[in-house]
Chain A
Amino acid sequence: MNILVFVKRVPDTESRIRIQREARGIVEEGLNFVISPYDEYAVEEALRLKEAQGGAVRVVSVGRDEAAAVLRKTLAMGADEAFLVKDDAPEAYDGLRTARIIARAVERKFAGADLLLFGKQSVGADNSQVPAMAAELLGLPQATVVTKLTVEGGAATALREIEGGTEKVSLSLPAVVSAQKGLNEPRYETLRGIMAAKKKPVPVITLEELGFGPGEPSPGLEVTGLDAPAARQAGKVLQGDPAETARELARLLRDEAKVI
């Protein structure tokens, strides 16, 4: 089976985010960057499918040169090849722009893939839209937010989380699947894998090669503000006898906060 996995370099979830209000962006200096955690589930699932059924796992990231580091991590985990689609544009928070680049890359460079795996969202932009958009642009079926995946004979069955239950989605391949926590436990890189990954080339694909002109594809949205969240007022903290504090909290929730 021929599997493509799409990964993104994002700030570590523990990072303190500093905002440049005027530039409507974040300060990247001093930030620790990682592979988006959901993408790790996607890589792991691809590796397991390959181990069970044979084939190849190729990993693609759209981003700046720095994204090569997360691609190397996936090579160290066991991916066969990794490619960087070089996009120097700053984060536009526009899922459609990314999906257009991905769809074009699939058509021009990676035709013939049986399965396209993504994380359910990139942590950071938290858009949850690139997998479904890429699926639509490529005319493929999709299952998003998937916690279980079975692939057999040109078809896949996926379980996805919905409110109060689970949906079983049946797909014919090729298809797009986005990974949710629970799908698997991602493996760690081995020392041998890390050493081998260092030696592997990470070919770069330019946007021109994909047929995009200068400034294309342009974002379909304009960032009008980027702010720190309104600080929540320091709350009332009650200490002392459990019975009294419980009574006081119930009273505050009813009379002051008016939520009960």
Chain B
Amino acid sequence: MIAAYLEIRDGKIKKSSLETLAEARRRAAELGVGTAAVMAGASVAGLAAAAFAAGAAKVYAIEDPALADYSAQAYAAALAGFAAEAKPAALFFSATAMGKDMAPRVAARLGVSLAADCTKVAVKDGALEFTRPIYAGKAILSVKLKTSPQLATLRPNVFPAGEPVEGGGEVVKMAAAVPEGAVKGRVVEVLKEETTELDVTEADVVISGGRGLKGPEAFALLRDMAAVFPRAAVGASRSAVDSGWIGHQHQVGQTGKTVSPQLYLAVGISGAIQHLAGMSSSKVIAAVNKDPEAPIFKVADYGIVGDLFEVVPKLTEELKKALKE
């Protein structure tokens, strides 16, 4: 069986986890094995129906008061316990902040290697092959894992979510094997950003601004454009962040976030290699830059050579019209 770990935030399964489950299901079908979902928390079995609808044939619900607050140690122990008992052939996580925090611990606990931040999973000669960009996207690495279970984290927004599935399945409740007194670190508080803005890693459309914006004010132009789309977020280059025009949580790139939206629009961004590292797995890239020689045009599918202060407001109007039609 291939199992997908489903991350829960605010009582809901994260979208990226549904993508992970859908990919688990596709590869499991190819290998002729089943698909399961694993959830962990103080009380999670209530979300089983959502997991079945997303394609799980079986749901493992690890419930324990010790899992009420997230702790990498406790969650890794719980997931390793699941792996030992349910013996999945593979266990996929989403490469979110939580997935990247806990999957390596689960791997170390099980003594297995981990394929991290994968952008492709394939079946080759009956075994899984994992592919991901390395060296800031300048090379593409494919690996096979010699250890079992096969552990991988999958980059959010890259794998398509599945169509909803009818019917249910078996819910297996499990206790967490969290040793008493072994947990020495845990999340004590989650500080939410005040804005209701989507995170760049979760958006379908990312509109990013760079030094060409000349100041914090012009980010309002980008926010206006983002407001046209149902799931858009505003991103930024490091130059814009370092200038203090926008918070660092918006930074896309090597020292920022990795994004893979349907559409990435780079506005007044030159396209330095460290910026490309964070956005080159976007499906479609568009750019607005006044310099026709800007490196961003080498990777952009579409570009406008022009002054962003003239182009962006007009583009926002045109996008509004195009979406309405």
Contact = CB atoms under 8 A, between A and B. Distances in A.
Contact of B143 (A124, A224, A233): A224
A39 to B, nearest CB: 12
A103 B298 CA distance: 43
Contacts, number: 298
Given A165-B192, A233-B301, A250 B315 contact: yes
A260 interface: yes
A13 to B, nearest CB: 5
Interface residues of A, number: 90
A252 interface: yes
Interface string B73-113: 10010000000000000000000111011111101110111
A80 interface: no
B322 A250 contact: yes
A226 B104 contact: no
B274 interface: yes
A243 B182 contact: no
B302 A223 contact: no
Contacts of A228: 138-140
A62 interface: no
Interface of chain B: mostly helix, strand, loop or mixed: mixed
A88 interface: no
A167 B186 CA distance: 10
Contacts of B162: none
Given A19-B139, A26-B135, A125-B134, A235 B273 contact: no
A2 interface: no
Nearest to B310: A242
Interface of A: 11, 13-14, 16-17, 19, 26, 37-38, 93-97, 99, 123-137, 139-145, 147, 157, 159-172, 175, 180-182, 219-229, 232-239, 242-243, 245-247, 249-254, 257, 259-260
8 contacts: A94-B113, A141-B186, A169-B185, A182-B248, A227-B139, A234-B298, A235-B297, A249-B286
Interface of B: 9, 70-73, 76, 96-98, 100-105, 107-109, 111-117, 124, 129, 131-147, 182-193, 197-199, 201-202, 205, 229, 248-249, 251, 254-256, 262-263, 273-274, 277, 280, 283-286, 292, 297-307, 310-311, 314-315, 317-319, 321-323, 325
- The 3 A-B residue pairs with the shortest CB-CB distance, nearest first, are A141-B185, A220-B113, A129-B104
